[in-house]
Structure formats: C-alpha cells, structure tokens
Structure 1
Amino acid sequence: MKKTLLLAGAAALAMTVQASPGFAQEASEETELKQDVIVVSARKKDEGLLEAPVAVSAFSETAIEDLQLQSVDDIARFTPGLSFSKAFGRSTERPVIRGQSNVLAGVQFGVESGTAYFIDGVYYSGSIQNLDPNDLQRVEVIKGPQSALYGRNTYAGAINFITKGGAEEFEATAKARFGNNDTSEYAASIAGPLLPGLTGRLSFRDYEYGGEFRNAVTGELVGQEKTTSLAGVLDWSPASSFDSRLRVSYSEDRDGVLPLFLQSAEENNCMPGYRSLAYWAMSGSTNNNQYYCGVIKPGQVAVNSGVDADGVPNLIPGVPLNSTFPFMAGAYGLGDGTAFDGILRDLWVASSVSTYRFGDSGWELSLLGGYSKEHNKQGYDSDHSSVNFFLAGPTNEPFFANTTRKDVEDYSLELQLATPQDERLRGMVGVYLYDQILLEGDITFADPAGRAVDTGKRTVRNEAIFGLVEFDFTDRLTATLEGRYAEETKTDRTSTATPEVSYSKFTPRLTVDYNLTNGGTVYGVFAQGVKPGGINGAIGEAVGMPTYDQEESDNFELGIKTPLPNVGLGVWNLSLAGYFTDATNVQLTSAVAATSGAINSIATNQGAGEIKGLELDLQGAFNEIVSGGVTYAWTDAKFTEGCDADEWIMSSGGGNFTDPANQTGVDYTALFPGSGPASCNIAGRTFPLTSEHQASAFVRLDFREAGPFGSDFFVSSDLSYESSKFVQIHNAAETGDALLLGARFGFETDKWTLSAYGQNITDEDSITMATRWLQGPYFSAGFSPNIAPATASRGAPRAYFGSLRRGPQFGAELRVRF
C-alpha cells in the first residue's frame, strides 16, 4: 500500500509539471525562454536540436547531472525507443533501439546489437558502462539506421558520447559522492591553456559499489563494481584553418561475482512434453512441463564462486543430493567451481579528430582516428547454480565454468572531404577502415592467466566509402541523399570448415525536410540498414550451421520538431516521430549443448519481421521556477514469417524437428494434454528484448537564493516505466514491468552544489534480463538416463537464469567548481 501511494504521488507530480533532460534550467524574460538550446552533431555537423531532421535524444551536461545518468542503463530510461538489457554485469552490452537486437550480442564473437557507440564521433567497440559521466559534455542517441554517416553496427542507431575538451581559462572541478551498499565516487578535473593555441584537460575518477546481494553458497556479497580511470585531452588550434583534438584514456575495472540466479526447470509450468525433467529418472521429478510461462521472479544467487561456507550442499529442485552419473562424481561438490569470477578489464582508448579548412573557400578536410586495447578476464558459473561436478580423475576445472581471457585491439581511420556548407548544393565524401583483432584463452585452475591454451584468433575488417549530397530546393525545403558501400570480412581460426566470411552492401538514406517558420522542422526519411553476418565457429559446425547471413531492413520515418504555441503555460518543445521497419533474415539465437565445458549458443537467421513505432519527447518550462519533460515510445515489433526448431519442440510435446523444408517433425501432442498445436511458425510473435511501452517524466523546481550563503535551492524527481520484455521468440517467459522512481534535492551556487539523492526509491525488483538455459547436470543423454522415446528431443531440460536489479540507492554528493 505504501509503495502504491508513493508511485501514485510521484506520477501525479511528474505529469503535472514535466521536466526536460535537454532544456537549460535558466528560463527568464531576459533569455526569452529560448528553446533550442542544445546543439547536436547527429548528422556529423552542428545543428540545433529542433533543426536536425533526424530522431535524436540529447542530454546536456546539466541533464546528465540532474537525471543522475551514470551509464547507458540510465540513459535508456529517458530515451524513447532505447532499451538496455544489463544481463552480464558491466559486460556483453545489448542496447536495443526500436526493437532491433540479438540476445547473443556481446556474447558471441561477431554478433552485435545493431546499435553502435561513438566517443567524439569515433567508433568504439565493447562495453562502455565504465565511461566517466563527469567527463561528458553531451550524449546523443540517434535512432534509425545510420550506416551512411556513422558506419558499421549502426543498423538500428548510434549513441555518441561527446566529451569535454580544453578551456581557454583555468578551471577545475571536484566531486565526492557517497551512498548505501558501500557506494563511493571521487572525481576531479583540471583544464586550461598550455601554450598559445593549445589547451588541455585532465580528469580522474574512482568509483566503487560494494554489492547488496549475497551468494547462498559462499555467504559472500556479489555484484561489486570498481573502476579507476584517467583521461587527458589536448585541443590544438595553431591557426584559424586548423584544429585538432587528441583524447587518451585508461581505465581499470575490478568487478565481483555477477549477480545471476537460476530458476530451476522444476518450476516450468507450461508446454508439457518429453523435453522436461520428468523424463530424466535421476531427477526425481514428475514435472513434465518444458517451458515457463509468465514473469520470472528474482531468485537467490547460489553459484560455485568459492568454497561452500557451511559445508552443506545448496539443493536445486530436480537435482537430488544423491545424484550420481556414469563416469562422473556426484552432482554437488563443495569446492570452488570457477577459476576466475567477475570482470577484470584494463582498457586504453585513444581518439583523434582533426579538421583543415582550405582558406576562405569553405572546403574542409577531416581525419578521424581511433585505437583501443583491452585486456579482459571474465568468469562465471555458467550453469548459474550450486551444481559443481567434476569428471572422475584429474581435471583443470569442472563442467559449466565459463572463464575466459580476451585481448582485443581495435583500429579505425576515417577521412572526409566536405564542400562549402553555405552553398545551395553541397556534399561530402569519405573513406573508412576498421580492424579488430581478438585473441581468446581459457582460464583454468592450472592456468589462471588463460594463456596456455589459445582458443583462437578472430578478426573483423570493415572497409567503406561513403558520402552525401544536399540540395536546397527553396529556403525551407531541402533534400539529402546519403550512401555507404561497405565490405566486412570476419575470420575465425577455430572454425575449420568456414574460417572466413565476407559480406558487402550499399545502404542509402534519403531525407526530405521542411523548415517551419517557428524554427521547427518537418521531415521524412527512407533508409536501408544492414547488420553483417558472421561465423558460428566449431560449435556451429558441429550442428551444421557454420555461418549466419546478414540481416537487412527498409525503414520509413516521418517526424516533426516544433516549439509549441505559448498559451500561458510556458514554452515547450515537441519532437514526434513515427516509423515503419521491414526486416529480413532476422538474426536470432539457438542454444547448443557442447560436448564439454560451458553451454553455448549460435546465431541463426529466422524469418522476417515488421516494426511499427511512435516516439514522443516533450520538454520545456512553465516559468523560471518549474521546468520538466515527458517521453513516450510505443514499439510494435512482430515476426511476419519464420520457422524455429525449438518452437516445434515446445509445441509438439517434445518431438524432434526433422523436416525443415516442409516445417514438420515428430508430433507427440496427443500424449500431452495442453500441448500443441505442433508448429514451428513464429509469425505474430514479438521480437525478444523489446518493450512495447516506455515512458518517463522529470520535474525540477528552482528557488533562487532560497538557501544558505545565498545559494539556490532545487528539488527534482523522475519516474520511468518500461513494459515487460519477452526472453525468447516463444513469447511466454518475460522479465516483468519496471517502474523506477528517483529524486534529488540540494543547494547550489556557481561554485558548489550539495545534494542528496535517491534512485529506485520504491525498490522495483523486476529482473533486468533472463535467458533460457540448459539445466545441469542433465545436459546430455550420455550422462543421464533419458526415458523419452528415441524420436523425441532428448536434449537437456531447460531452466532460466536472470540478472538481479539493483535495489534502492540513497546518498549525498558534493561538487565544487573553481
């Protein structure tokens, strides 16, 4: 009851006086409540937020502080059309724009979400959750295919982090933030002139979160996060014709055991059939359900990340204590089951952006370069449970321990030549080159460095030529044609049959926009998107699927950005976009049981789909005291055709899918009331990881000189909602809705800000993500008696593992500016 009243009150407040993530807090007659205060570079040039004919959500430095944006996860809460699934801690990221992603994104080599990260316009690969939020000047989330201008992996959109640069006058900042669960953050920066034409900035951050969930096996806390980072920027402008920025950063992440829990197959409650615990005699279970229907609830973390604390096995339903298997020891062991736990990442990132202007001609030549080097160790108990069995005899580690070392190097280079931008006809042409080298090793108890056995070298190479032509038909009507031709080659030396694949595609983008007399814009877009295919490696070869094809889409969008008429309620900006996407060869996931080690999945192309959506962003201020904003996104992402083998197994009572050409197989529905009809058809199903509804609201009240020492008093509150996401294409198991409430209040002057904050105040505990997984030790018929018929699917029963959401966070923060 208390939680309901809190939410109702917060919603009423937020919807009465909405605030804006992108609107400056100052609003007075002197500034005439100027609305278009955010300048974005979404189209690789500076434009006002209302002028850019593209769907973009922008967050200023002020908004990043007010909304407490610490990571991409926080940014997604206030970006209509962006959903973020934090499934494996601060790793394997899966940003989803407009319903387009893959549950293997960041997990399997070469599989990507279709949403790329950029730092100062330079492509960045890998996890970005450790980026220092205090070092950001602005964040832009650009929605829809951006292949023409931004390049690879922008099938669904791009997220550009614009960092702070040098300063013409000396300035410095310091920040200290403390909270519950042993949360602390110390940050500082210094900037100023170094030499004539040369300015610089140096920033430092130390962040730590102590964790709040406890592992039932070891009794220790899990989910800890720790980052130490240092970044330096040099801005050089020796003449009016040339300027350049060099940015170099180094960061160390030391994160603890991931807060993952297992929901046992014993809890499955739907789709009865042979692919269930009941048909493994040693399970002691009579549950013949193959799947779970409904919202997966948060559970207890119980993983073998260390020695069992009390010496008493933590039993899993469906895995009796006396379980023994041919050639194997008991299912429960009390020792450490993982040679490495958590995340260790050492990361160097460097980028350079230079522009040369040819006198007064208006022609410009730009060179963008990027480099990153990452050493990464990640480990977790990949059956996500207290099962901890070893093969009889010597072994380096037990089954189901996913402990790996990765060394990744990325290089990118982009050259652009632009014509004068004040001409009626203007253009730009460019070339792009990207290389990635990945070396991976298996971490074991015998080899904790993970270097004795190199599991394979993998590479990605992307080469492209791109450009645009823009023409003003009138002073208000403009058309822009962009295009990119790219070739991408991936190699995987672990794959013997298909060690290399190449894909190519030309992706055009046509934009027509009309400038309104009030400073707004109406625009229409047609764009094609492509997500390259790749290699499934030895795992895919074993099941006859060594590769997967590229996914392609046609996209149509109409939008309007406009100031709303001032009718005595202050001034407000409205951005409204509607879109339609037709996707083919959609990349999804199929689970595969390896003969040893961790469980794996492969990428597959499964059918086609259509996505319809609507995005709204309203922001502004009632007066100089009250400002705010509200966002909403509706995403309807459905398959129009497709056939999935697991869908047949689930719906047929556990029968094998034997004839893909005719989409048929063995049908046992007559034996299992409540099953069927048997079908592999997924048409009409919602895309996984996609929320149909997203909404947020934000309000801030500023009271000038109402605090001590002549300071201003402020109070702000935010509320965000995201509807439940389905785990798989079967559209049965889901994450549950999430409603998050935050608040902040304090005092500030030009020199300092002292505030108190709260995040997830009402303790929303819906899980952030879940994955359907094989339940050990029943991962192979060869290790456990299976009494299902030979024509049935005799693979392992399936459970689910999920990631826990961080609970209420409260604390205080002090910022000082010199």
Structure 2
Amino acid sequence: MRKTLLLAGAAAFAMTAYAVPAVAQDAEEDAEARQDTIVITARKKDEGLLEAPIAVSAFDEKALEDLQLQTVDDIARFTPGLSFSKAFGRSTERPVIRGQSNVLAGVQFGVESGTAYFVDGVYYAGSIQNLDPNELSRVEVIKGPQSALYGRNTYAGAINFITRGGSEEFEANGKLRFGNNGTKEASLSVAGPLPFIDGLSGRLNYRGYEYDGEFTNAVTDQLVGDESTISLSGVLDWQPTENFDARLRINYNEDKDGPLPLFLQDASHNNCEPGYRSLASHFFIPGFEGVPFPRPAYTNNNQYFCGVIEPGQVALNTDVDADGIPNVIPGALEGTNFIPFYSLADGTAFDGLDREQTIISLTSSYEFSNGYELRFLAGYRDETELTGFDSDHSPVNWFISGPTQEPFFANTGRDDVEDYSFEIKLSSPQDNRLRWLAGLYYYDQDVLDSDITFADPDGSDTPTGERGIENQAIFGLIEYDVTDRLSVTVEGRYAEETKTDSTSPLGSADFDAFTPRLTVDYALENGGTVYGIFSQGVKPGGLNGSTGAAIGLPTYEQEESDNFEVGLKTPVMNTGFNFTAAAFFTDATNVQLTTAVATPTGALNSVATNQGSGEILGLELDISGAFNDNWSGGATYAWTDTEFTEGCDPDEWIITSGGGLLTDPDTGTGTDFTALFPGSGPATCSIEGRQFPLTSEHQASAFLRYDLAAAGPYQSDFFASADLTYESSKFVQVHNRAETGDATILGARMGFEHEDWTFSVYGQNITDEDSVVMATRWLQTPYFFAGINTTPNTDPATASRSAPRAFFGSLRRGPQYGAELKLRF
C-alpha cells in the first residue's frame, strides 16, 4: 500500500513537471518569471536552490534574521521534516530528520541520531546549540541519507552551518539584544583586508549571551534553566590567485548553564495498564521471599501512563532545601525520621553545564589549469564538559555513600573530548558532460569519562572509562548528462569504523558498510528541477559497555535503510513564488531502540538494541516568495508516517501482561498475570503498527512580512513580520502511550531598518504554548514504605522486579519579549 502511494505521488510530480513549461508563453517569459534563489553547497558544489536535485531547506542571512533563528530548535520549526528536542539542555543533541530517531542518542556514548552537523563542510560531533548565530551566512538542512558525500552519521540527513568569512573592504557590525527573564546578548563582528599579504582578509567575532531562567525550583526556591555563553572566533580567508583559496577558522566557547528545568510526573499519575509494576502492587523484603506484603497506602494499580504529559513543578534537590521542610512525592516517602540517609543538604555534586571548547577548521581548494579541482578539509576539537542533574528528578535526597560522596541517583560527570578529521577530494571540470569526484576521509575521537562527586567536584581524580571512535572511508561520484536536461548521478562510499569502550569486556567493535546513491534529474525550462533518488543509509553500531555485556547484549548493530524519493522544484509562474515538494519512502531494518535494564540495586539503566524493522512514508512541501513590493511570505508542511513492521520489546510485555517478564523473545512469550488484573492484556511484546518515538506526524509553518520604504525616522524602512509554527505530539517510547502534546508557537517582530542600523522589538511564543519539549519514561525512586528500606521488587518472583514507572519532562520557555539594535559601520 505504501509503495503504491509513493508511485502515485511520483506520477503526480511527473505530471506537474510536464505541465509547468506547457503553460508558459515561451522560454524567455519563463526566464523572467524565475525568482532569485539561494546558492547552496548541499552537493559539495555551488548550485541554485531550485537546481539541486536534492531535498534541502536553506536559510540565508536575511531569513535567519527575519525568522529570529537563534538555535537549531528555531531552525527545525521552519524546516519541513526536521524535529529537534532540547530535552537535556545544551549538552545533548537529538535532531530527528524524517522520523529516524533514537531515544538514547546523545545520552549513551556512541548512540547517534543519524543526523550529523557540519560547519563549513567539516564534520562536527559536539553540541551545536552554543553556535553564535551572528557568525552565520547560511544554514542548509539536507534531508535523506547523505553517506556518500558527507560521511558518518548522515543516515537521515545533514545540517551544514556556513560561517561568514573575511571582507575585501572594512566592515563592522554590532548587536545589542535585551529581553525578559534576564535575556542579554551583545555581539561584535569586524572584518576587512589584512595588510602586507595579497588576497588575505579576516573576521573577528565576539558574542556574550545570558538568560536567567524562568522556572522556580520548589526545593531550593531558585530559578533553573539559566544559560550563559562567551564565544570568540576568528576567520582568515586567503585567495592569492583566482585558482586557490583557503580558510582558517578558530573558535573558542565557554558555556555555564544552571540546573535543567526538569519535572517528575510520579507513578501516582499512572492511568493505564494495571499490573504488578505499580504503586499498589505487592513488594518484596529481602529474607521474606514469597511472602506478600500489601501496600494499603497506595491504591493506584496502573503500571503506565497513557495520554499527554502535562507540565509540572520543578522540585529537585540541587542545593540546600530552602525552607528546611522535607519534600515528599506520592509513593516514594511518607516521612524522614525513620530514614537516616535522607538529608536536606545539596543532593548533587554538580548541576547544569560547564563547558570549554576550542574548535579549529581548515578548508582549501586549488583549481588546476585544466579545470580539475583538489579540495582539502580538516577539523579539530578539544572540549572539557562537566554536566550534572538530579537523575531521580525528585526532591528526595537519599545518600548511600555518605555526604562527601555521590548520592543515590545523581547523574554527574565530566567528559574530556578530543577529535579531528581530514578529507581530501579531487573533482573533474564541472562543465564536462561526464563529471566525477573521488575522495578519502578519516575521523578519530577520544573521550575520557570521569565521575563528579562531593569529594572530587571537578571529576579530575575519578576516571570511569575511556571511549573512542575511528572512521576511515573512500567515496566517489560520477555524474553524466544524458541530454542537455537529463542527468544521472551515481555516488558511493565505503567506510570502516571501530568503536572502543574500556568498560566493555569486548574492548572494541568493528563495523563496515557500503552506501550507494543514485539520482536522476531533469532540468525544466523555467529553471526548476524534477528528480528521483534511490539511496541506502547506515546508522553506526556500537558497544553497550558493562551494563549491556552483563545481560548478553555487549553490542548493537548498524541500522540500515533503503530510501526512495521523488521531488519537484519550480518557480510558480507569474506569482513571484518558488515551490518545492518531495515524497519519500524508507524501509529500515535493525532499527536501534532502547531496552531497559534493571540493576541489582533496583536502579534502572538502558542499552541500545536492534529490536525491529519499520517503514516511513512522507511528504514535504515548501512555498515562499513575494506577493508584491510590500508583502512577502511563505509556508511549509511535512507529513511523516512512521510504522514498525515488526519488533519485540521486553517492556511492552511487562506493561501488557500485568507485570510479567518476557522469557522468550523469539516466540514472544513469558509470564502472564493478566487474569489477576482486570483491564490488562492481551499480553504481547509486539510493537508492530506502532509509530517511531520522538517523531511528529505533522509539522507546519507560515511566515508573513510587510515592508514599507522610507516610512520611519531618518528615512528608514518600516517592517513587520509574524510567524506561526505547529508540530504534532511525539510519543515518548515505542509503546505509543505517553506523549508530549501538540505545540503551536506564534512569533512576531517589527521595527525600522536603515543602511546603518536596524531597531526592532520581538516576541516569541506569544501565546504561551506550554506543552512539554520532551518527556522520557523513568522510574519511581526511591521506593520506601513503613520505615522499611525495601528494594522496589514485586511478588511473585516471575513478575518485573523494577520500580513503578514514572516520567520526567522538560519545560518549554514561556513568552519571550525584547528589543534589538543592530549597527553597521
């Protein structure tokens, strides 16, 4: 059925492509109707946005300013097919393109989302949320597998940030931005030619940014979610001759963020799937195996939550309790007198984010006299990152190792990261009918993990493991013009990757893959393009460390996909608008999912597993342009229909079987207690028919701008704009029960623009959309009753021995208002 729909879509695109030149009066009129488009480098060469046979959303400097695109999250709101969740502050990246997600991406080392970042074409493996938006000249979001040309982790797509370079004439730009919630930003950029060396120019950038946060922690009575960044960068561009150019970019960042705005939805809210793994279930006391002890204080018999998770109160023990009165959560703690380990003191040795980064990139190209071009790219990153948060997301501060050590369920650590990459490629003259490109690539990353405790507050003395990634590849492309309008392109990449982990008994794991891509495109007479693509993608596999090895899952394999896409890009005749559309189908196997693992202490961890297969069918539409001299605008829409076609998940068995354990994944059978819990069942581990987690089925955006020349002070131009974005709810996990809720966000901006300055006022999330940014299934902990320190187990022994499920979520920023002044010299 899905392939039938895709073929129907392809036929519709083909008819549209055929009809467009037919309605034009002649070729000359078509050329006049064609609108100016952004020049992009999505295929590693300069092309007009409408000419490139690839699905790409591009934002130039004007679009970045008009749409107030300050972060990746902002860019995602206006990119059909891209979803971004700022779930763990600015230290965890989980961009999702076309539904290809991973719940553990950015949380467990080596687990990746399948969408990679690039800065000036150089692979960038770190967090990009601190990138200075004032440095950017363009952002390109390239959708679909890009393994052939871009490299590792481009299973679903790539996001390339192109920075501003030097200038042949002196120029300076400054910006001051102030807003509510203590938002302050100051930036300065100076560029111009440098003396004594012909063709050498440079640029210096500075940015200081602060945000005080807006949510109050009920335990400490302090604001949480604050952010602070200092960023310095310098660029040297050198072009001594017409056939040689080089760029050196050096960037230094300091980030200091406070505790995250996370809240716990405890197990008392659970409203579905009754069973043993619930607050009202029996529990187990060591030494009294088989003896049931009822919990009369708790009557909630449900194991899970179904529906939209609503925003809640932040209540984290990230500092000394402000009022000296113990905070409790239902099902966790009835009092503190009988628990000697409970404390009102600070429960985490470190909170938030403290990061220092040094990033260096070098790109150069040389064009030989016969038209062949040699291009070289290199990147280096040195980073020290301290992160910490109260991992049980509750006000309960329960010390196990004493107040000078790390308390129970505090997630505090330090990563020292060093990585570098090299790429060299040779391409033939681009005006030949037969064109080709060949290249070599190498990437290496080393990570030293350390634990942060009260005895070791910076983590320098408590190393916990060493991890690494090494990737080497050879890639190439052949492009042939069958006719003046019809072209065929064949690409391919062979890569070998090794991942190492000192905590794994295996020590290392090797992976290799060949990823081909075939593109057929036809250039329309009006300057547009119709194209078709077949490609294969690979998401890297990896190691699960000691946790996975203990349960017989030391590694997880590569996720693979076959992808089919058809697209149309065209000016809309005599309207001043450009229209792009893409329809795609993805068949994914060995889909990487999350398997919960209970530890002997009752705590919960997760590992990556290849549990199923799935299909994705989607449609992306984008139209933008000018109505007349005063009005311009655009709109986007994306439909992404994801579905697992097979898969067996152990947690699915637990919540459908009344709390039983899956004993045989091959047959999908296990202990079944549905007869004891009316309303439960039928017991199954199958996730067939479920949607992929972290994926929105619908996304839409609209933008409208009004300009009036010489209508402001000092002959400045007046402008006003408004934008509206919508993203449908995302499921938290493969079970498709708990979800985030829809999000509709309204923004506006207006002001005056002069050749020397721009003054504007702005509003973001004006209607105070408060649906959670993201939520994650978690567990109710600690789990005490009647003064007895019990493990969170149930009776009988064949039932799940983990704590009842709870959920934590990340709060969305409320309305943001402010003013901005830009100066140009």
CA contact (8 A) 1:434 1:462 kept: yes
SS in 2 for 1:658: strand
Does 2:815 match 1:808? yes
Of residues 594, 598, 610, the one that matches 1:605 is 610
Does 2:714 match 1:705? no
- Distance in 2 (CA, whole Å) between partners of 1:386 and 1:778 is 13
CA contact (8 A) 1:303 1:381 kept: yes
* Partner residue, 2:266: 264
Per the TM alignment, residue 118 of structure 1 is displaced from its structure 2 partner at its CA by 0.2
Across the aligned residues of Structure 1 and Structure 2, the Cα RMSD in angstroms comes to: 1.7
CA contact (8 A) 1:145 1:157 kept: yes
Does 2:365 match 1:355? yes
CA change 1:627–1:220 in 2 (3 A) is same
Per the TM alignment, residue 782 of structure 1 is displaced from its structure 2 partner at its CA by 8.6
- Distance in 1 (CA, whole Å) between partners of 2:378 and 2:793 is 57
- Distance in 2 (CA, whole Å) between partners of 1:782 and 1:307 is 24
Of residues 684, 694, 698, the one that matches 2:699 is 694
Output aligned runs, 1:501-516, within 5 Å. 501-516=509-524
CA contact (8 A) 2:331 2:783 kept: no
Of residues 786, 793, 806, the one that matches 2:800 is 793
CA contact (8 A) 1:699 1:717 kept: yes
- Distance in 2 (CA, whole Å) between partners of 1:588 and 1:785 is 25
SS in 1 for 2:661: coil
Deviation string 1:607-642 (CA, Å, 9 cap, x unpaired) is: 100000000000111111000000000000110000
Of residues 218, 234, 237, the one that matches 1:235 is 237
* Partner residue, 1:12: none
CA change 1:562–1:40 in 2 (3 A) is same
- Distance in 2 (CA, whole Å) between partners of 1:348 and 1:684 is 45
User: What letter corresponds to residue 800 of structure 2 in structure 1?
Assistant: S
Per the TM alignment, residue 322 of structure 1 is displaced from its structure 2 partner at its CA by 2.8
Output aligned runs, 1:113-124, within 5 Å. 113-124=113-124
Q: TM-score, normalised by structure 2?
A: 0.93
- Distance in 1 (CA, whole Å) between partners of 2:546 and 2:562 is 33
Per the TM alignment, residue 324 of structure 1 is displaced from its structure 2 partner at its CA by 8.3
Output aligned runs, 1:164-563, within 5 Å. 164-195=164-195, 196-279=198-281, 280=283, 284-322=297-335, 329=340, 332-359=342-369, 361-391=370-400, 396-496=405-505, 498-563=506-571
Per the TM alignment, residue 35 of structure 1 is displaced from its structure 2 partner at its CA by 1.6
CA contact (8 A) 2:318 2:390 kept: yes
Q: TM-score, normalised by structure 1?
A: 0.94
Does 2:601 match 1:590? no
User: What letter corresponds to residue 644 of structure 1 in structure 2?
Assistant: D
Output aligned runs, 1:52-131, within 5 Å. 52-131=52-131
Deviation string 1:453-478 (CA, Å, 9 cap, x unpaired) is: 21111010000000000000000000
User: What letter corresponds to residue 333 of structure 1 in structure 2?
Assistant: S
- Distance in 2 (CA, whole Å) between partners of 1:599 and 1:517 is 60
CA contact (8 A) 1:115 1:155 kept: yes
Deviation string 1:683-730 (CA, Å, 9 cap, x unpaired) is: 000000000000000000000001111000000000000000000000
Per the TM alignment, residue 34 of structure 1 is displaced from its structure 2 partner at its CA by 5.6
- Distance in 1 (CA, whole Å) between partners of 2:603 and 2:154 is 31
Per the TM alignment, residue 397 of structure 1 is displaced from its structure 2 partner at its CA by 1.8
Does 2:151 match 1:151? yes
* Partner residue, 1:661: 666
* Partner residue, 1:623: 628
SS in 2 for 1:113: coil
* Partner residue, 1:777: 782
Output aligned runs, 1:713-792, within 5 Å. 713-778=718-783, 783-784=790-791, 786-792=793-799
- Distance in 2 (CA, whole Å) between partners of 1:283 and 1:601 is 31
Number of residue pairs the alignment of both structures matches: 781
- Distance in 2 (CA, whole Å) between partners of 1:393 and 1:434 is 42
- Distance in 2 (CA, whole Å) between partners of 1:75 and 1:666 is 47
CA change 1:392–1:352 in 2 (3 A) is closer
CA change 1:732–1:785 in 2 (3 A) is closer
* Partner residue, 1:9: none
* Partner residue, 1:24: none
CA contact (8 A) 1:265 1:318 kept: yes
Output aligned runs, 1:632-651, within 5 Å. 632-651=637-656
CA contact (8 A) 1:345 1:376 kept: yes
SS in 2 for 1:90: helix
Per the TM alignment, residue 319 of structure 1 is displaced from its structure 2 partner at its CA by 1.8
Per the TM alignment, residue 349 of structure 1 is displaced from its structure 2 partner at its CA by 0.7
CA change 1:282–1:499 in 2 (3 A) is farther
SS in 2 for 1:770: strand
- Distance in 1 (CA, whole Å) between partners of 2:531 and 2:508 is 41
Deviates further, 288-297 or 772-781:
772-781
SS in 2 for 1:150: coil
SS in 1 for 2:248: strand
SS in 1 for 2:662: coil
Per the TM alignment, residue 576 of structure 1 is displaced from its structure 2 partner at its CA by 0.3
Q: Could you tell me which runs of 5 or more consecutive residues in structure 1 were left unpaired when the two chains were aligned.
A: 1-28
Per the TM alignment, residue 503 of structure 1 is displaced from its structure 2 partner at its CA by 0.5
User: What letter corresponds to residue 486 of structure 1 in structure 2?
Assistant: A
- Distance in 2 (CA, whole Å) between partners of 1:386 and 1:692 is 35
- Distance in 2 (CA, whole Å) between partners of 1:527 and 1:546 is 30
Per the TM alignment, residue 786 of structure 1 is displaced from its structure 2 partner at its CA by 4.1
Deviates further, 543-552 or 606-615:
543-552
SS in 2 for 1:606: strand
* Partner residue, 1:162: 162
CA change 1:324–1:517 in 2 (3 A) is farther
Deviation string 1:516-544 (CA, Å, 9 cap, x unpaired) is: 00000000000000011100001111222
User: What letter corresponds to residue 89 of structure 2 in structure 1?
Assistant: G
Deviates further, 235-244 or 184-193:
235-244
Per the TM alignment, residue 266 of structure 1 is displaced from its structure 2 partner at its CA by 0.9
Deviation string 1:246-268 (CA, Å, 9 cap, x unpaired) is: 00100000000000000001110
CA contact (8 A) 2:71 2:129 kept: yes
Output aligned runs, 1:13-52, within 5 Å. 35-52=35-52
Deviation string 1:251-287 (CA, Å, 9 cap, x unpaired) is: 0000000000000011100000001111245693111
Deviation string 1:106-134 (CA, Å, 9 cap, x unpaired) is: 11100000000000000000210000001
SS in 1 for 2:547: helix
Q: Could you tell me which runs of 5 or more consecutive residues in structure 2 were left unpaired when the two chains were aligned.
A: 1-28, 284-293
CA contact (8 A) 1:401 1:598 kept: no
CA contact (8 A) 1:86 1:768 kept: yes
User: What letter corresponds to residue 88 of structure 2 in structure 1?
Assistant: F
Identity over the aligned pairs, expressed in percent?
69
User: What letter corresponds to residue 150 of structure 2 in structure 1?
Assistant: Y
- Distance in 2 (CA, whole Å) between partners of 1:809 and 1:393 is 42
- Distance in 1 (CA, whole Å) between partners of 2:602 and 2:111 is 21
User: What letter corresponds to residue 234 of structure 1 in structure 2?
Assistant: L
Deviation string 1:350-387 (CA, Å, 9 cap, x unpaired) is: 1111001112x000100100001110000000001111
* Partner residue, 1:10: none
- Distance in 1 (CA, whole Å) between partners of 2:295 and 2:457 is 34
* Partner residue, 2:10: none
SS in 2 for 1:310: coil
SS in 2 for 1:527: strand
CA change 1:33–1:169 in 2 (3 A) is farther
* Partner residue, 2:26: none
